[in-house]
């Protein structure tokens, strides 16, 4: 079955200043790589809708949603936290980034697509129920998960987060909900300083030391995640696809390669085929060295197509 690429032009307008690492050039680099690799010719492209207030309220506090909706300035930047800002176009981008996961879920659960990749920004896995942080405004992947539960009646969803930073926002939202299995691998100790103790029963965190390479990463994922994900038998797999663990990316200190991201994507594809009819939706999180990011997204999508 075909694969969806979901994005929106507003995500290119999201701007937190020229020196900010979460920059529009990230999507330009991905788009250029998809064209050069000819992947753009086999992907079915969709415009992401804007998430509604009701959909945002499935995971966020009403006071926080209203605060964000009122914070977009007509010019300049309004900072929601020390490194997350609202600019004139950032609210629109954040709404469409959240809406991309919703559309991805609808497409794969409706049978139109087998998998979907959401090339959106801002990212979402640091956004908690009641606050923005770490470049993230709304919890894109959690919104997608609860849409799958509430609109499609799913009972078991796995969220896999392989960003170099812990998905604290996702855990804040889904922790304790036994309908969702949340697996997050991350460098520790490191920002945001969470995820290494007192985890809910539905959370499998995987804190790894700086300089972790592909061999150690694969071994840890195999030992701590794969059997438990298979036993959980998710009806849908969602991925928070952060590529900032690449050895070329100075946002973290992991030593992963393109092939390591292809490997974990292949493992998730295999698990999705066992219990989820192959249904998988991936959402872009981190990845800030542009060449490495673009190559990793290419490897990620080729794994959707069954390429090693």
Is 126 noted as a catalytic residue in this protein? yes
Separation CA 34–CA 38 (nearest Å):
6
Summarize the chain as % helix, strand, coil (round to 5).
40, 20, 40
Separation CA 283–CA 94 (nearest Å):
13
Helix (H) or strand (E) holding 185: strand 180-187
SS3 48: coil
Burial (CB < 10 A; 0-12, 13-18, 19+), residue 191, is: middle
Catalytic residue among 126, 147, 166, 300: 126
| Residue 46, C-beta contacts closer than 8 angstroms, at least 6 positions apart | 4, 5, 6, 7, 103, 107
- CA distances to 21, 37, 268, 293, 301 from 251, in Å: 9, 26, 25, 12, 23
Alpha carbon 32 to chain centroid, angstroms = 20
DSSP assignment, residue 50? P
Active site residues: 126
């Amino acid at each position: 079955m075909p694969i969806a690429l979901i994005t929106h032009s507003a995500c290119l307008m999201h701007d937190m200043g020229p020196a900010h690492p979460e920059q529009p050039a990230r999507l330009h680099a991905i788009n250029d790589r998809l064209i050069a690799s000819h992947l753009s010719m086999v992907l079915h492209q969709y415009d992401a809708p804007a998430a509604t207030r009701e959909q945002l309220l499935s995971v966020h506090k009403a006071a926080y949603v209203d605060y964000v909706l009122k914070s977009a300035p007509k010019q300049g930047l309004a900072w929601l936290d020390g490194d997350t800002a609202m600019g004139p176009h950032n609210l629109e981008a954040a709404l469409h980034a959240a809406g991309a996961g919703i559309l991805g879920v609808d497409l794969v659960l409706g049978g139109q697509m087998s998998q979907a990749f959401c090339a959106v920004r801002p990212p979402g896995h640091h956004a908690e129920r009641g606050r923005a942080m770490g470049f993230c405004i709304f919890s894109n992947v959690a919104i997608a998960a609860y849409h799958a539960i509430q609109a499609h009646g799913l009972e078991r969803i796995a969220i896999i987060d392989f960003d170099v930073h812990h998905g604290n926002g996702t855990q804040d939202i889904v922790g304790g909900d036994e309908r969702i299995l949340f697996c997050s691998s991350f460098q520790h100790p490191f920002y945001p300083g969470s995820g290494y103790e007192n985890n809910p029963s539905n959370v499998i965190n995987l804190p790894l030391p700086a300089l972790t390479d592909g061999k150690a990463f694969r071994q840890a994922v195999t030992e701590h995640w794969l059997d438990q994900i298979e036993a959980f038998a998710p009806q849908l797999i969602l991925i928070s696809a952060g590529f900032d663990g690449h050895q070329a990316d100075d946002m973290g200190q992991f030593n992963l390669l393109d092939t390591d991201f292809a490997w974990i994507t292949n493992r998730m594809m295999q698990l999705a085929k066992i219990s989820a009819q192959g249904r998988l939706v991936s959402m872009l999180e981190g990845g800030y060295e542009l060449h490495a990011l673009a190559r990793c997204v290419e490897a990620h999508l080729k794994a959707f197509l069954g390429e090693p």
